[in-house]
Amino acid sequence: METIILAVVIAVVVLGALGGLLVGGLRRKSPPPPPPAAPDITAPPAEPHVGEEAETPREEPRRTIEEVDLPEGSAPTAVEEPLVPEIELPPIEVPEPTAGRLVRLRARLSRSQNALGKGLLNLLSREHLDEDTWEEIEDTLLTADVGVQPTQELVGRLRERVKVLGTRTPEELRGLLREELLQLVGPDMDRTVRTEPEAGKPGIVMVVGVNGTGKTTTTGKLARVLVADGRSVVLGAADTFRAAAADQLQTWGERVGAHTVRGPEGGDPASVAFDAVKEGKEMGADVVLIDTAGRLHTKTGLMDELGKVKRVVEKHAPLDEVLLVLDATTGQNGLIQARVFAEVVDVTGIVLTKLDGTAKGGIVVAVQRELGVPVKLVGLGEGPDDLAPFEPEAFVDALIGE
């Protein structure tokens, strides 16, 4: 009889312990209840003892098991693991229509660039346009990064026309300067950003440039412009150097409901770009925008890598646009970058960013001359809708004021 009672007691103890283990095991997978009163982390971990097991009430075994089994610091808290994980979907934004942007462009430009136009007008208005004055005019243009050759051309034309004009009214001077600056900026260049899908393939745009010029921001802003125009967009995060770069792009995409294709950190950027176009095709997207990592034009290895990204994407179809993003504040150095990038990836358009923070808008002229490629877009601030199509008339008007 005693033996039977002993056997039953042992069975109850064993089952109890097993039950406790099971509950403890399951509990680690399922969300925990709010933690008990602050655990005493200074107390030594409780060691289970043979006698204790039998005495431990069934209601409590998990406390013992948790304290023994879980490595220090891993005790889950209610904050870390909510009962029902909340997935917050950000609301999809409807970007500002592109039509209103021109007005803002002028306001932002004139704030920083007026010095150039106004300075030129003041100089031209002097009663005696002597050699010193013409030299000052030249200096004003050079300071604004217009470049030596275009400056000499402009000054030559102005000298000629002012001579023909004889006496000058301020309106005549303004009109004359406007015409000549416009000529210099190139009113007839085709500045359309080519994003049209055709024959079952999306428009493919790749964005390149040195570090920190505004590539990712521009890609995000451009996605917004396209979405605002009713296009579906896929983003390719071909900057695989840092996971944060892909996150940055994805955040831009999520705001307007654009899907982002990304790869592992440190992975092959060419294969991410390839996959982005592949997914874009499969999804029937209108446009695929590929953001690339910033790279110094002097690093041959990285420039070769960029060439490879382009070639690999072209296994799908030719690229419609390769946009070189230049920071307007970097001045003449931008020209050297432009030259190298153009050699490696056949740049088809220039995006001039940070024009809101510089009086060196003359770089528009210089860089177009350097590459024979038009400035297609300008960045005028850090805001999501601070990217505008480049329009020569509006640009020149902003320079000389109205």
Report, in Å, the least distance between residue 123 CB and ligand GTP.
29
**Per CB under 6 A, 353 contacts ligand GTP:** yes
Comparing every residue's Cβ against Mg ion, the nearest one is: 216
Question: Smallest distance, Å, CB 312 to ligand GTP?
Answer: 20
When the beta carbons of 158 and 387 are compared against ligand GTP, the nearer one is 387
Q: Considering only the stretches 82-90, 138-146, 215-223, 310-318, report the one whose residues sit in contact with ligand GTP under the rule CB under 6 A.
A: 215-223
Q: Which stretch binds ligand GTP (CB under 6 A): 184-192, 207-215, 253-261, 330-338?
A: 207-215
Annotated binding site: 209-216, 291-295, 353-356
Of these partners, Mg ion, ligand GTP, none, which one is at the site of residue 384 (CB under 5 to 8 Å by kind)? none
Q: Does residue 216 bind Mg ion (CB under 5 A)?
A: yes
3-state secondary structure the chain: CHHHHHHHHHHHHHHHHHHHHHHHHHHHHCCCCCCCCCCCCCCCCCCCCHHHHHHCCCCCHHHHHHHHHCCCCCCCCCCCCCCCCCCCCCCCCCCCCHHHHHHHHHHHHHHHHHHHHHHHHHHHCCCCCCHHHHHHHHHHHHHCCCCHHHHHHHHHHHHHHHHHHCCCCHHHHHHHHHHHHHHHHCCCCCCCCCCCCECCECEEEEEECCCCCCHHHHHHHHHHHHHHCCCCEEEEEECCCCHHHHHHHHHHHHHHCCEEECCCCCCCHHHHHHHHHHHHHHHCCCEEEEEECCCCCCCHHHHHHHHHHHHHHCCCCCCCEEEEEEEHHHCCHHHHHHHHHHHHHCCCEEEEECHHHCCCCCHHHHHHHHHCCCEEEEECCCCCCCEEECCHHHHHHHHHCC
211 binds, among ligand GTP, Mg ion, none (CB under 5 to 8 A by kind): ligand GTP
Near ligand GTP in 90-149, by CB under 6 A: none
Q: Given candidates 180, 320, 356, 385, which one binds ligand GTP under the rule CB under 6 A?
A: 356
Nearer to ligand GTP, 173 or 342 (CB): 342
Q: In the complex, which residues of this chain contact ligand GTP (CB under 6 A)?
A: 209, 211-217, 239, 245, 293-294, 353-354, 356-357, 379-382, 386
